[in-house]
């Protein structure tokens, strides 16, 4: 599951974070090579089905909503596989946990938390590695899973994050090189977990926002050793951290209910902050051409475009916020930033809005995407195309300032993870199957 800020056009001195070396063949984090949701070199098919343009489909064990990541011809998937086994004695309980009416999913079974490596060309599962076996003590949202956090990779190692089950560094042969346990998270309303880590050069960043002591931490990616850790005055949020270089110096941006904050990646010092988002922040921040976009859409609507070069101290209400928008923002899905336009869905609904990323000018708003009623995945883009996935429907929208539905496609699965685009292929991770669709 996974969240979202945006774009402008100001200085080429700003470079985007992830060190994906080839944006045509790699999708190293859940929102892609530039963490915008876009595949700059993608050219996937517009129409597909169980019988048209389907290259392969592979059954994935267990359940997980984590969007896969890709490096070269390898795809990495996280999943939680229930067993028939119960622990000896009483099922453990976590202090402060409760089952809410909105999130009744609870288990007394031991789960195998697995990293799965798939050959991208054939769909063959190359190996499965169980990194942990235990009963998840927390409940999840009825539509959630115990493997909703996406992994990240630098092409040399896999960083598989299972939230309360820990962070695991593996090589591409499935060997665990190190692991880190952060404790047990207590999310609001037992909605479950979903934030993913961020990887930048030799550092990996994890935000741990919940109801019982939030923090952000930076680890050495080679050893797992803690470089720094800062407490955060926050409740539960699900947005993943985003690293942005400003004048050659990396900042870590975090979006959350009380404040959006940016930390010096080297020291953990807060560089700037602002208020204004709604509760339960899920959409990821996004960044492009000097502008950072943050948004949320639970019990309200908030979107801010921030001139990050000028951001220092408390920027709330200042002209560092270039423009704002207070309608139709997403609750769960993250935005898509592509070719100077910012796209986002309203709440969890299939209604799409497009804004000029530089000015905030509305190109179109709240346009109905055929076949999509509710969706928790995020839109993914390629030149000229936007893919929006729902339960069994994937709609393809024409990218650009005019709204046009190009196709409505049906596959035999339910899709909560976000589409992944590599070249002329698009991948859909469903509740049961992993699909590869290509021309």
Q: How far apart are CA 137 and CA 62, in angstroms?
A: 18
- Domain count for the chain: 1
Task: Encode pLDDT of 393-421 as tens digits.
Answer: 999 999 999 999 999 999 999 999 999 99
pLDDT for position 276: 97
Q: Residue 8 falls within a domain, yes or no?
A: no
pLDDT at 353 over 70: yes
pLDDT for position 100: 53
Q: Residue 160 falls within a domain, yes or no?
A: yes
CATH code assigned at 159: 2.130.10.10
Environment class of residue 342 by beta-carbon count within 10 Å: exposed (0-12), middle (13-18) or buried (19+)?
A: buried
Give the confidence band of 144 by pLDDT, cuts at 50, 70, 90: confident
pLDDT for position 94: 54
pLDDT, mean of residues 120-142: 91
Q: Residue 177 falls within a domain, yes or no?
A: yes
Q: Residue 358 falls within a domain, yes or no?
A: yes
pLDDT for position 285: 98
User: Which residues, including other chains, have CB under 8 Å from residue 42's CB and lie 6 or more apart?
Assistant: 381, 382, 383, 385, 421, 422, 423, 424, 426
Give the confidence band of 140 by pLDDT, cuts at 50, 70, 90: confident
pLDDT for position 18: 38
First vs last Cα of the chain: how many Å apart?
Answer: 28
pTM score above 0.75:
yes
pLDDT at 23 over 90: no
Measuring CA to CA, which residue among 280, 250, 205, 342 is closest to residue 15? 250
Q: How far apart are CA 185 and CA 208, in angstroms?
A: 8
CB count within 10 Å of CB 288 equals: 26
- The pLDDT > 90 percentage for the chain reads 81
Q: Residue 321 falls within a domain, yes or no?
A: yes
Q: How far apart are CA 439 and CA 47, in angstroms?
A: 9
Q: Residue 39 falls within a domain, yes or no?
A: yes
pLDDT for position 319: 98
Cα 339-308-255 angle, rounded to 5 deg? 90
Q: Residue 140 falls within a domain, yes or no?
A: yes
Q: How far apart are CA 149 and CA 361, in angstroms?
A: 33
Mean pLDDT computed over every residue of the chain: 91
Residue-wise DSSP of 30-82: TTTTTTSSB-TT----S---SSSSEEEEEEPSSB--PPPEEETTEEEEEEEEE
Give the confidence band of 333 by pLDDT, cuts at 50, 70, 90: very high
Give the confidence band of 92 by pLDDT, cuts at 50, 70, 90: low
Contact 232, 281 (CB under 8 A): no
pLDDT, mean of residues 236-247: 96
Contact 113, 200 (CB under 8 A): no
Rg, C-alpha atoms of the chain: 20
pLDDT for position 197: 97
User: Which residues, including other chains, have CB under 8 Å from residue 317's CB and lie 6 or more apart?
Assistant: none
Contact 144, 105 (CB under 8 A): yes
Q: How far apart are CA 400 and CA 430, in angstroms?
A: 28
pLDDT for position 189: 76
Residue environment code for 84-96, b if the CB has 16+ CB neighbours within 10 A, otherwise e? eeeeeeeeeebee
CB count within 10 Å of CB 340 equals: 15
CA 163 from centre of chain: 13
pLDDT at 334 over 90: yes
Q: Mean pLDDT lowest for which of 175-189, 257-271, 296-310, 320-334?
A: 175-189
From residue 268, how far is each of 93, 167, 235, 251, 265 by CA, in Å? 33, 20, 19, 9, 6
Q: How far apart are CA 229 and CA 206, in angstroms?
A: 10
Q: Name the token pair of 275.
A: 């208020």
What DSSP state is assigned to residue 92? P
Measuring CA to CA, which residue among 248, 276, 284 is closest to residue 264? 248
Task: Encode pLDDT of 209-232 as tens digits.
Answer: 999 999 999 999 999 999 999 999
pLDDT at 13 over 50: no
pLDDT, mean of residues 45-66: 96
pLDDT, mean of residues 260-285: 97
Q: Mean pLDDT lowest for which of 34-48, 83-97, 103-117, 266-280?
A: 83-97
Residue-range definition of the domain harbouring residue 344: 15-438
Q: Residue 174 falls within a domain, yes or no?
A: yes
Q: Tokens 């909560």 correspond to what residue?
A: 416
Q: How far apart are CA 191 and CA 9, in angstroms?
A: 37
């Amino acid at each position: 599951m996974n969240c979202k800020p945006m774009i402008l056009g100001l200085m080429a001195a700003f470079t985007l974070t992830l060190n994906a070396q080839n944006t045509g063949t790699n999708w190293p984090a859940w929102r892609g090579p530039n963490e915008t949701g876009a595949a700059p070199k993608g050219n996937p098919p517009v129409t597909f089905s169980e019988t048209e343009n389907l290259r392969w489909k592979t059954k994935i064990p267990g359940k997980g909503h984590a969007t896969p990541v890709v490096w070269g011809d390898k795809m990495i998937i996280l999943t939680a596989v229930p067993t028939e086994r119960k622990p000896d004695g009483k099922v453990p309980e976590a202090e402060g946990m409760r089952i809410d009416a909105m999130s009744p999913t609870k288990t007394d079974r031991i789960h195998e938390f697995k990293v799965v490596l798939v050959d991208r060309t054939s769909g063959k599962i190359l190996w499965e590695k169980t990194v942990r076996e235990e009963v998840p003590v927390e409940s999840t949202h009825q539509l959630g899973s115990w493997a909703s956090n996406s992994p990240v990779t630098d092409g040399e190692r896999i960083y598989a994050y299972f939230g309360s089950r820990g962070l695991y560094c593996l090589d591409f042969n499935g060997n665990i090189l190190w692991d880190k346990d952060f404790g047990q998270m207590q999310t609001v309303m037992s909605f479950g977990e979903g934030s993913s880590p961020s990887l930048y050069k030799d550092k990996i960043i994890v935000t741990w926002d919940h109801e019982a002591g939030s923090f952000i931490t930076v680890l050495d990616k080679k050893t797992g050793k803690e470089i720094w850790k800062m407490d955060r005055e926050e409740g539960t949020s699900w947005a993943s951290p985003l690293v942005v270089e400003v004048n050659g110096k990396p900042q870590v941006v975090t979006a959350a209910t009380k404040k959006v904050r940016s930390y010096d990646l080297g020291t953990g010092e807060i560089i700037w902050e602002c208020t204004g988002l709604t509760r339960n922040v899920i959409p990821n921040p996004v960044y492009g051409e000097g502008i950072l976009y943050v948004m949320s859409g639970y019990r309200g609507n908030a979107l801010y475009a921030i001139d990050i070069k000028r951001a220092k101290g408390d920027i709330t209400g200042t002209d560092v916020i270039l423009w704002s928008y207070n309608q139709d923002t997403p609750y769960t899905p993250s935005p898509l930033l592509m070719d100077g336009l910012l796209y986002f869905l309203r709440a969890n609904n299939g209604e799409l809005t497009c804004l000029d990323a530089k000015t905030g000018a509305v190109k179109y708003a709240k346009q109905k995407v055929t076949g999509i009623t509710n969706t928790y995945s995020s839109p993914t883009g390629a030149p000229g195309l936007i893919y929006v996935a729902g339960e069994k429907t994937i709609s393809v929208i024409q990218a650009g300032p005019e709204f046009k539905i190009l196709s409505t496609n049906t596959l035999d699965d339910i899709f909560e993870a976000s589409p992944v685009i590599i070249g002329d292929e698009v991948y859909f991770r469903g509740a049961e199957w992993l699909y590869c669709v290509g021309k």
